[in-house]
């Protein structure tokens, strides 16, 4: 069996604006994706020609295999390869070892799917599909998947998140991620925002690119300009998430924000000692929460 192993990193959103609802029922967003060192392990084995998929995911996410985005990536890639004329589409054994909390706004499922898609050419050869086809396939699986498939460290995201512009700015901080034991449904979060689609309801996006470098050097500017539109409805529905953000500030975070549509919240700290001390104390304050200390990539 030919096997490829890789890591699938989590992301945080350093600012997230939901601008308006588009005619295709997706939402136009404006965000900054930042990959962090928290990661899952993805192992893909290719063998045989039966076009099957075998998934081993630990811990169990409590969802059907067909709902797993990595599984969907394999299935769509198999179908595309067959359509492109690959006469013997191999079966794939997919092993996922999860560290990224499921349903926490950290992109774990999208990252797994992206890792699968960028690994398949080395298994099947570069003639199975073109890069453009893989990018389109990634966007069809999930709006965050292209970011992970491209393996970018930091990028501006627009459209529904699939239009990417890499940026070279690095966050010089330690990141404490706190994930409470609840899952936010993304569809619910978007509905809670009640974004309109009329021209006069469309917002002008913040120019994150122009602000990013100076804001990172001056965290008070991060607080002023880099917000997350999902926080207001989600904090109202789930006060514990707002409480975690407030606690991170009280514990000395220079900047704190909910990631994606939640439920995870991250805080930026200057030193590893400070970050580890805060992370160690969190579970006692917020029972059932998981904490991670990581670095931006």
Q: What length is written for the chain?
A: 297
Rounded to an integer, what distance in angstroms lies between the CA atom of residue 237 and that of residue 239?
Answer: 6
| Helix, strand, coil fractions of the chain, as percent rounded to 5 | 40, 30, 35
Let me know if 24 is a catalytic residue.
Answer: no
Q: How many CA atoms lie within 13 A of 160 on its CB side?
A: 16
Let me know if 11 is a catalytic residue.
Answer: yes
Choose, from 11, 76, 98, 245, the residue flagged as catalytic.
11
Choose, from 21, 76, 144, 229, the residue flagged as catalytic.
144
Q: Pairing state of beta strands 91-97 and 53-58?
A: parallel
Rounded to an integer, what distance in angstroms lies between the CA atom of residue 199 and that of residue 196?
Answer: 9
Phi, psi of 254, rounded to the nearest 5 degrees: -75, -25
Structure tokens at 266: 């991250």
Rounded to an integer, what distance in angstroms lies between the CA atom of residue 223 and that of residue 14?
Answer: 10
Q: Give start and end residues of each alpha helix (H) in 69-130.
A: 69-83, 108-124
Structure tokens at 71: 């599984």
Active site residues: 11, 144
């Amino acid at each position: 069996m030919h096997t490829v192993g890789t890591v699938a990193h989590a992301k945080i959103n350093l600012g997230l604006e939901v601008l308006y609802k588009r005619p295709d029922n997706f939402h136009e967003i404006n965000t900054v994706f930042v990959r962090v060192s928290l990661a899952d392990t993805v192992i893909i084995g290719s063998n045989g020609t039966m076009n099957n998929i075998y998934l081993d995911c630990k811990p169990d996410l409590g969802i059907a295999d067909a709902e797993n985005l990595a599984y969907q990536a394999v299935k769509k890639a198999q179908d595309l390869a067959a359509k492109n004329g690959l006469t013997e589409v191999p079966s794939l054994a997919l092993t996922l070892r999860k560290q990224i909390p499921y349903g926490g706004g950290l992109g774990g499922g999208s990252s797994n799917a992206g890792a699968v898609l960028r690994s398949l050419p080395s298994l099947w050869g570069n003639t199975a599909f073109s890069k453009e086809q893989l990018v389109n396939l990634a966007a069809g699986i999930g709006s965050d998947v292209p970011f992970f498939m491209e393996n970018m460290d930091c990028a501006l995201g627009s459209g529904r998140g699939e239009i990417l512009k890499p940026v070279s700015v690095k966050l010089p901080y330690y990141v404490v991620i706190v994930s409470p034991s609840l899952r936010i449904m993304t569809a619910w979060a978007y509905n809670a925002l009640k974004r309109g689609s009329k021209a006069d309801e469309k917002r002008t996006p913040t120019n994150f690119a122009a602000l990013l470098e100076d804001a990172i050097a001056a965290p008070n500017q991060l607080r002023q300009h880099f917000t997350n539109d999902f926080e207001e409805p989600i904090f109202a529905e789930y006060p514990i998430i707002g409480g975690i953000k407030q606690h991170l500030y009280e514990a000395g975070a220079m900047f704190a924000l909910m990631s994606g549509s939640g439920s995870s919240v991250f805080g930026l700290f200057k030193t590893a000692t400070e970050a580890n001390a805060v992370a160690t104390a969190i579970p006692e304050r917020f029972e059932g929460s998981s904490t991670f200390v990581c670095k931006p990539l």
